[in-house]
Amino acid sequence: MTIRAVVRGVGHYLPERVVPNAWFEERVDTTDEWIVTRTGIERRHFAAENEATSDLAVKAAEAALKDAGIGAEGVDAIIVATSTPDFTFPSVATMVQGRLGLTHGFAFDMQAVCAGFVYALANANALIVSGQAGRVLVIGAETFSRILDFEDRGTCVLFGDGAGAVVLEADEAAGTTSDRGILATDLHSDGRHRELLYVDGGVSTTGTSGRLRMQGNAVFRHAVEKLANTAHTALDKAGLSGADVDWIVPHQANLRIITATAQRMQVPMEKVVVTVQDHGNTSAASIPLALSVGKERGQIKTGDLIVTEAIGGGLAWGSVVLRW
């Protein structure tokens, strides 16, 4: 028998404030048509002034636990993927642990920017397969609106706030491609490309949180190539191919990247869960948000083979193949 990390529940939370493209027309030299044509984004959510990343994470976690039909006391570990923590320390994960009332287990944050949730899933899978945890709550949560330069029209229109979460649980399986759970993971990074996507501040440099900076065209080129390659690699590791895929649930950065990656994988867009039009780029939150919305829509069903893939600053990228 083989131990698999199986998704038992999924949930998400979006701040109440919805920001349409028209809001940016009043602030920078842009139009709704320009934003939609180049990104596919129509609206996004921004957190309220008194709403922090941990607040979003807790609400997504509660939704996932409810969907799984378990209480917080049944969780052994919490991993929060985020690049916008409430504080330098403690971690958002330990704050979520406290808010949920957990007095056992362990919790930590994962920082791989937009690839954070994929990295967190891979680490949660390793914890479960190795026997260090039986049930892991994996959360992606971001308040990117706090690090945007609202005078930079090339970046400020792209990002939004939100959170998504999944409950992973150890389960005995036959060790075949038909098993439910995570079947393969593939992670990469290349620090030579730091200047392509970064935030120009930090504790040991400026003492400030800084603002997001990006070379959009270069990021696009890297994203399409690297996302398709990592997805194929993960499928190969699992002994599967693009023809076996029921759904691609990609990082929701840009509709053009999503479309180009699907084409490279030879998977039709009818098999891609797309939420970028409503949420914008929510960084580490985008994949769990899309998983939750995909299930809510009735797209994702038990037994479906899913590929998730993401790339973010670092550059860091990777993919996970799982059967729902």
Asked if 318 and 310 touch (Cβ cutoff 8 Å), the reply is: yes
Choosing from 21, 125, 254, 281, the catalytic residue is: 281
User: φ and ψ at 238, to 5 degrees?
Assistant: -80, -10
Q: How far apart are CA 42 and CA 28, in angstroms?
A: 16
Q: Residue 145: helix, strand or coil by DSSP?
A: helix
Distances (CA, A) of 116 to 31, 120, 153, 207: 31, 6, 25, 23
How long, in residues, is the chain?
A: 324
Catalytic pick from 114, 125, 229, 232? 114
Active-site residue 114, yes or no? yes
Helices within the chain (DSSP H only): 21-25, 32-39, 53-68, 92-100, 116-129, 153-156, 216-238, 255-265, 276-279, 286-297
Angle at CA of residue 39, ends 251 and 36, nearest 5° = 135
Of residues 45, 251, 254, 279, which has the active-site annotation? 251
Asked if residue 70 lies in contact with residue 8, where contact means CB atoms within 8 angstroms, the answer is yes
Burial (CB < 10 A; 0-12, 13-18, 19+), residue 248, is buried
Q: Is 174 left (phi over 0), alpha (psi -120 to 50) or beta?
A: alpha
Residues with a catalytic annotation lie at 114, 251, 281
